[in-house]
Amino acid sequence: MEKGRQTLLDKYEGEEGAVAYRRLSMRRIREILRLKFEAGLSQRAIARALGVSNSTVSEAFSRIGQAGLSWPLPEGLTDAELEKRLYRARGQAVANPREPDWALVQRKLTGKYVTLRLAWEEYLEAYPGGYGYSWFCESYRIWQKRIDVVMRQEHKAGEKLFVDWAGKTLPYLDAESGEVRGAHLFLAVLGASNYTYAEVFENERMESFLTAHVHAFEFFGGAPELLVPDNLKTGVTKADRYEAEIAAPYEELAAHYGAAVAPARLRKPRDKAKVESGVLFAYRALAAPLRARSFFGLADFNVAIGAQLTALNERPFQKLPGSRKSFFLEREAPLLRPLPAEPFSCRTRKLARVHIDYHVELEGHYYSVPYQLVREQVELRFDACMLEVYHQGMRVALHVRNGRKGRATTDMAHMPEKHRAQAAWTPERMAAWAAQTGPTTAALCEVIMAARPHPALGFRSCLGILHLEGKYGAQRLEAACARALAAGGRSYGSVRSILERGLDALPAEAAAPPPGPSHANLRGPGYYD
């Protein structure tokens, strides 16, 4: 034990000639117990009354509990027998059927809402008349000091996932260029079980960081309540001890999986000791065995890391029963949040300005947004399949990606009312409307649309012709359209002229153009024979 806090066992056990002192110690122990349980004094008051240290009083209580004794002591128990039960030879184990399975207690405490008192109550159910609560807690803490620091951290199962990039890159060969590049190792370690996920990436950018989380959640088969990253720029835009500002894409990922982000405090490595020790384990268990191998690409590298990762997670604990994987499957996996139906999409972000035609440009293609946002700045969030447009944090447009450059994808709902009405016309709809007046009017409109480079260019002429029905009636309009077809008229002006001059009422012969004047310079077809 620490200097200045040596107990009776540390000072006198195993020393010859200490029998008299030990007998005195037995009397002192009896007095300690009497003052505690009959006089009701605190440990500190007992220590002052007997002139001993607090650690001596605590040690007496601990040994009484470990020996399975209670107050009052059994009648006829001599000092020698008491000494034998309390101060055994150093290293000699004493069978005690009431001794709790402290490893089992440790595992229970990783469960949500499980406390030492609850673990003690369950222990008493198995061993009635066993340790008292104070003895139980003290003995557990003594046992806890003997195991690894990593396993002593009390993390609730399913609560925290510690994530970080390893500091050193791992070499691999680029299959295309043949260059030696550095792979960046991502690590994710669950707090309660130490179950670990690892993957290498080309860089540490936002897309890689988010993709690594998605793959880690798939590996675990669920998501934790809290994500605990270091204060890296891809995850935390502004580090602060009290109100850290989380990067928006990272916050969206956490929300998608029903988790929250709680970054480690600045210059507080113990806040993320799990992943810090995980980095050390990763280099020893993952990188070191692969140091003599060459990898051609990240996919090849990750296959090898996956095999080493399986061995790491299945390696038995040194001082606790089971392994990372067995602990995870038994205690932590059932408490993880279920994964959503669709994984989080790692989308790229870009700012854009809305054009005068209420479209934004992305890689040569144009996508519509509500016309009220003309000249406003919006944020584009996109991947290979979808494009989302956000304005002041609200999504205002959603489009399927289109790779045709110079073309536009337009949502009718984004257009002004006048544009929407015009855009609603199609050649079929125009012909159907014209047919309501008559077949000749429909035929003329179809001829007009067919004569234009694009049918839409003839819409205005057709609309003008149809509007003449209100002034001249359907019957006269039908006759005017028939005369225009016969004369080769292909415009709104031709039909209007016929109606204004009353030519629609004349017979077809009278409507024929008069013969040209006779002149000496006019040559007939026979001239060229």
The CATH number covering residue 294 comes to 3.30.420.10
Of 377, 392, 417, the last residue of a domain is 417
Question: In the predicted model, what is the mean pLDDT of residues 73-98?
Answer: 62
Which range, of 144-158, 322-336, 494-508, averages the lowest pLDDT?
144-158
| 397 and 477 belong to one structural domain | no
Q: What is the per-residue pLDDT for 389?
A: 93
| 327 and 358 belong to one structural domain | no
| 264 and 313 belong to one structural domain | yes
Q: What size, in residues, is the chain?
A: 529
Q: Considering the domain boundaries, does residue 406 fall inside one?
A: yes
Our measurement of the distance from residue 186's CA atom to the centroid of its chain's CA atoms, rounded to an integer in Å, reads 15
Q: Considering the domain boundaries, does residue 514 fall inside one?
A: no
| 203 and 287 belong to one structural domain | yes
| 62 and 118 belong to one structural domain | no
Q: What is the per-residue pLDDT for 469?
A: 87
| 364 and 317 belong to one structural domain | no
Q: Considering the domain boundaries, does residue 408 fall inside one?
A: yes
Question: With bands split at pLDDT 50, 70 and 90, how would you rate the model's confidence at 363?
Answer: confident
| 268 and 215 belong to one structural domain | yes
Q: What is the per-residue pLDDT for 527?
A: 54
| 238 and 142 belong to one structural domain | no
Give me 154's structure tokens. 């009390």
Distances (CA, A) of 270 to 228, 239, 267: 12, 17, 9
For the cut 50, the answer to whether the pLDDT of residue 91 exceeds it is no
| 390 and 467 belong to one structural domain | no
Instruction: Provide the number of structural domains found in the chain.
Output: 5
Question: With bands split at pLDDT 50, 70 and 90, how would you rate the model's confidence at 233?
Answer: low
Say what the alpha-carbon torsion angle 481, 485, 488, 494 is, to the nearest 10 degrees. 0
| 12 and 72 belong to one structural domain | yes
Say what the alpha-carbon torsion angle 126, 130, 132, 136 is, to the nearest 10 degrees. -70
Q: Considering the domain boundaries, does residue 515 fall inside one?
A: no
Question: In the predicted model, what is the mean pLDDT of residues 349-376?
Answer: 89
Q: What is the per-residue pLDDT for 451?
A: 81
Question: In the predicted model, what is the mean pLDDT of residues 304-330?
Answer: 82
Residue 245: helix, strand or coil by DSSP? strand
**Domain limits at 128?**
102-146
Residue 36: helix, strand or coil by DSSP? helix
Q: Considering the domain boundaries, does residue 290 fall inside one?
A: yes
Q: Considering the domain boundaries, does residue 176 fall inside one?
A: yes
Of 417, 443, 461, the last residue of a domain is 417
Question: With bands split at pLDDT 50, 70 and 90, how would you rate the model's confidence at 278?
Answer: low
| 413 and 447 belong to one structural domain | no
State the DSSP H helix or E strand holding residue 281, giving kind and residue range, or none if neither: helix 273-282
Which range, 209-218, 398-407, 445-454, is most confident?
Answer: 209-218
For the cut 60, the answer to whether the pLDDT of residue 458 exceeds it is yes
| Cα gap 4→53, rounded to integer Å | 10
Single-letter amino acid code for the residue at 4: G
Question: With bands split at pLDDT 50, 70 and 90, how would you rate the model's confidence at 149?
Answer: very low
Q: Considering the domain boundaries, does residue 3 fall inside one?
A: no
Our measurement of the distance from residue 420's CA atom to the centroid of its chain's CA atoms, rounded to an integer in Å, reads 39
Q: Considering the domain boundaries, does residue 258 fall inside one?
A: yes
Q: What is the DSSP string of 475-519?
A: HHHHHHHHHHHHHT--SHHHHHHHHHTTGGGS-TTTTSPPPPPP-
| 400 and 440 belong to one structural domain | no
Of 266, 300, 335, the last residue of a domain is 335
Sign of the Cα pseudo-torsion (448, 451, 455, 460, in order): negative
Single-letter amino acid code for the residue at 486: A
Contact 190, 272 (CB under 8 A): no
| Cα gap 447→465, rounded to integer Å | 13
Does the N-terminal peptide bond of residue 416 adopt cis geometry, omega within 30 degrees of 0? Answer: no
Question: In the predicted model, what is the mean pLDDT of residues 109-121?
Answer: 73
